[in-house]
Structure 1
Amino acid sequence: MTTVNAIETRPVRPLFFSYLYPAMVGMLLMSVNILVDGIFVSRGVGATALAGVNIAVPIFSILLSISLWIGMGGATLFSISLGEGNRKRAHQIFTLSFIMMIGIVATIVVLLLMNLKEVAYIFGADHTTYPYVQQYLYIILLFGLFYTIENLLSIFIRNDGSPKLAMMGLITTSVLNIIFNYIFIFMLNYGVKGCALATALSTIIGMLVLFLHFFNPKSELKFVRHFFAFSDMKRIVTVGFPSFIVEASMAAIIILYNITFLHYLGSNGVTAYAMVNYIHAVLLTVFLGIGMALQPLVSYHHGARLTKRLVALLKIGVKTAVILGLLTAIIAMLFPSQLIGLFGNKSTAEVQLMAIQGFAQFAIGYIFLGVNMVFAEFFQSIEKIRLATIIMLLRSFILFIPVLLLLPQAFGTQAIWWTFPVVEGLTALLIAIFIGVRRKTLFGINF
């Protein structure tokens, strides 16, 4: 039985979970790389270095946003083409997506390297943190192309019916990142530079693992000579735009949070937020993993016009998101001190207490986050790009910016932590209202 036939005939629930576990593990390990960087820097270099690395972390969101923009846009069209039985077009979409991403990322990296100091201060650096921001940013940018290639390949490999290989590539990267961090920071005393080198080298090796997929005789990931079509390029950019918003907005959100905490609570507030944000980056990928599992299945079923199975996938995705959201919020609210404690004792008691109290309130947002991400990913996968884009803009800019500005002014500095749960809750409410009004007409059948 081929992969294509298995997708169409296998019961929906086991099919979904066969994609969910590798996707969640893969995305979780991707974010663990950033968390590991934070833990090693905090324990091996110090709190100021941790704040500096956190200020530089948006560079990952920028690079990932490009790879997701092109990767998710291209992979969605790739799976739809396979669902329609058009293998030739699927090969053309893959080739075009790969070439597009390399060109865009290379251009961005060169521009950022040419203006590194200005970029660091835009991210939120000051005279104290700048040396650490500069060291970390420089190395990550030099190797940034490999990071985006690994992300793009993992997306397409998952869409090509090999979610376990996509997971193995990211496992390799994660394990090696831990080993290299220990060697470079604790054994060689390279400091923040060592942390960045560990990330870069582990990413390159993980990328090489993913290239094994091209030796699979059943692989539909094939580079072809005649691939360029402006209409396909436009569709890739259009379909992938909601994924770009997810990651690009994360970079903007981190920068806005850093500026807000610096304004109200000084460098201690930035360091406390750095601790919370590292944990949040890991937990966020749990919910991104649900969307990553849904996308190839939904896109394929959309292309094959299997509407009932499509709606069944949405229901399973929403239920999974609700359960995981509640569990994540409860664990985070019950054990904030244990999670914050991962960053060691080099931070002052005041900073740790600030982070612990803040995270217990911040974590309420996970109850709503998963549902928002599932609906956005679902709409994107069936090419309802306007709906997916609206959801992402609501939770990232339209609601986030005014709530972040107003809450601390109205309720004091502690209310900065409330921004995430308030914004995600409002977004989920608006989605529920929309679905309630349109549920009988949105897909042509009741659901």
Structure 2
Amino acid sequence: MNKSTIRSQFFKYIFFNIISTLGISVYILIDTFFIARGMGADGLAALNLCLPIFNFINGFGLMLGIGGGSKFSMLYGHVERRETDRVYSNAVYAALLISVLFQLTGLFFSRQVTTLLGADTIVFDMAHSYLRTVLLFAPAFILNQLILCFMRNDCAPKLAMAGVLGSSAANVVLDYLFIFRFGMGMKGAALATCISPFISLAIMGIHFATGWNAFHLRFDLASPDSLRSILSLGLYSLLTELSGGIVILVFNFVIYRMLGNTGIAAYGIIANLAIVFTAIFTGLSGGVQPLMCKLRGERDETGMRYL
């Protein structure tokens, strides 16, 4: 790949990817705005107590998406289609298994998790309602992240971006309807956020419906070796998200001791804004990844150094 092609592809990918990551980060920021208007400081405190769960869920989605997408990109064009399908299929299998674990946690242990996150009697019901709903919809979040990553590696960053922007727009509309028109409170805010990934998946479904996709789900391709490779390539993404969630969790405990729920609510606004700004740099690195993996698969060392 010559330098001018690398340069044009680089700016194309990072632009679409930064917009995508900003769109995903705006999910919670939108909830912050509507919850602040509808439920005040206690609602914001409840939301911020639940933020680490988003980090954990998205972390697993990114681990499988970036790990699987990287492996797919390195193999594509150099092996039989069956091998790239194996990578995608094993990533989906793992995503479904992890999603079930989150759902079981939501069904049977959501109250205990809410307590562990630091909710007191004032905000417990609001935090529990939000948390339980998010855990039950974990498959949508994880599969959305996974397919977004695969599509970026399948030369479809623009459609991936359209999916994210569509889901963010839906989140705004649904938050307004559920919180203010239907009076559903925190559960309404959670439902709005949880329905949004389905909008993204529906838009990205165009990639599959038109036959543009170079990866397919097959039920006879389970492979421990393939899964191990996916996990090793994506582990850093999981650790990054987990560390971010742990930082928020620790800050929540410390701030609660000093300032109570009002302090947590104030910190929640700052934390959400920080997530949005961090998304810019996440989008930059994520935009480089598909190109770097493609060049790695082509063994183009000159191109990799230039990129």
Pick one of 8, 25, 42 that aligns with 1:14: 8
In structure 2, what is the equivalent of residue 188 of structure 1? 182
Deviation at 1:207, TM superposition (A): 1.2
Deviation at 1:86, TM superposition (A): 4.5
In structure 2, what is the equivalent of residue 257 of structure 1? 251
In structure 1, what is the equivalent of residue 137 of structure 2? 143
Which amino acid letter does the alignment assign opposite residue 157 of structure 2?
Answer: P
Following the alignment from structure 2 to structure 1, what is the Cα–Cα distance between the partners of residues 209 and 2? 25
Aligned-pair identity in percent equals 29
8 Å CA contact 2:86–2:226 kept in 1: the answer is no
In structure 2, what is the equivalent of residue 80 of structure 1? 74
In structure 1, what is the equivalent of residue 296 of structure 2? 302
In structure 1, what is the equivalent of residue 275 of structure 2? 281
In structure 2, what is the equivalent of residue 330 of structure 1? none
Deviation at 1:127, TM superposition (A): 1.4
Superposed, 1:327-338 pairs within 5 Å as none
In structure 1, what is the equivalent of residue 261 of structure 2? 267
* Secondary structure in 1 matching 2:296: helix
Pick one of 125, 129, 133 that aligns with 1:131: 125
In structure 2, what is the equivalent of residue 157 of structure 1? 151
Superposed, 1:38-437 pairs within 5 Å as 38-82=32-76, 84-313=78-307
Give the TM-score, by structure 1 length.
Answer: 0.66
8 Å CA contact 1:23–1:293 kept in 2: the answer is yes
8 Å CA contact 2:41–2:262 kept in 1: the answer is no
Deviation at 1:305, TM superposition (A): 0.9
The higher-RCO structure (CA 8 Å, 6+ apart) is: 2
Deviation at 1:248, TM superposition (A): 1.4
8 Å CA contact 1:150–1:210 kept in 2: the answer is no
Kindly provide the CA deviation profile for residues 233-265 of structure 1, in whole angstroms up to 9, marking residues without a partner as x: 111111111011011112111101101212233
* Secondary structure in 2 matching 1:46: helix
8 Å CA contact 1:83–1:302 kept in 2: the answer is no
Name the CA shift for 1:80/1:138 in 2 (closer, same or farther; >3 Å): same
Deviation at 1:69, TM superposition (A): 1.2
Kindly provide the CA deviation profile for residues 272-308 of structure 1, in whole angstroms up to 9, marking residues without a partner as x: 2111011111111111101110111111111111112
8 Å CA contact 1:67–1:152 kept in 2: the answer is yes
Which amino acid letter does the alignment assign opposite residue 97 of structure 1?
Answer: A
8 Å CA contact 2:110–2:132 kept in 1: the answer is yes
Which amino acid letter does the alignment assign opposite residue 232 of structure 2?
Answer: T
Following the alignment from structure 2 to structure 1, what is the Cα–Cα distance between the partners of residues 282 and 210? 27
Deviation at 1:202, TM superposition (A): 2.1
Following the alignment from structure 1 to structure 2, what is the Cα–Cα distance between the partners of residues 72 and 290? 14
Following the alignment from structure 1 to structure 2, what is the Cα–Cα distance between the partners of residues 204 and 9? 38
In structure 1, what is the equivalent of residue 23 of structure 2? 29
Give the TM-score, by structure 2 length.
Answer: 0.95
Tell me the number of residue pairs that the alignment of Structure 1 and Structure 2 aligns.
307
Following the alignment from structure 1 to structure 2, what is the Cα–Cα distance between the partners of residues 113 and 107? 10
In structure 2, what is the equivalent of residue 397 of structure 1? none
Deviation at 1:266, TM superposition (A): 2.9
* Secondary structure in 2 matching 1:113: helix
Gapped runs of 5+ residues in structure 2? none
Deviation at 1:9, TM superposition (A): 7.5
Kindly provide the CA deviation profile for residues 348-384 of structure 1, in whole angstroms up to 9, marking residues without a partner as x: xxxxxxxxxxxxxxxxxxxxxxxxxxxxxxxxxxxxx
Gapped runs of 5+ residues in structure 1? 1-6, 314-447
Following the alignment from structure 1 to structure 2, what is the Cα–Cα distance between the partners of residues 257 and 88? 47
Deviation at 1:73, TM superposition (A): 1.1
8 Å CA contact 2:102–2:138 kept in 1: the answer is no
Following the alignment from structure 1 to structure 2, what is the Cα–Cα distance between the partners of residues 105 and 50? 26
Deviation at 1:143, TM superposition (A): 1.5
Following the alignment from structure 2 to structure 1, what is the Cα–Cα distance between the partners of residues 137 and 211? 30
Deviation at 1:63, TM superposition (A): 0.9
8 Å CA contact 1:55–1:124 kept in 2: the answer is yes
In structure 2, what is the equivalent of residue 439 of structure 1? none
* Secondary structure in 2 matching 1:57: helix
8 Å CA contact 2:102–2:135 kept in 1: the answer is no
Name the CA shift for 1:83/1:9 in 2 (closer, same or farther; >3 Å): farther
Point out the structure with max Rg over C-alpha: 1
* Secondary structure in 2 matching 1:125: coil
The alignment yields a C-alpha RMSD, in angstroms, of 1.6
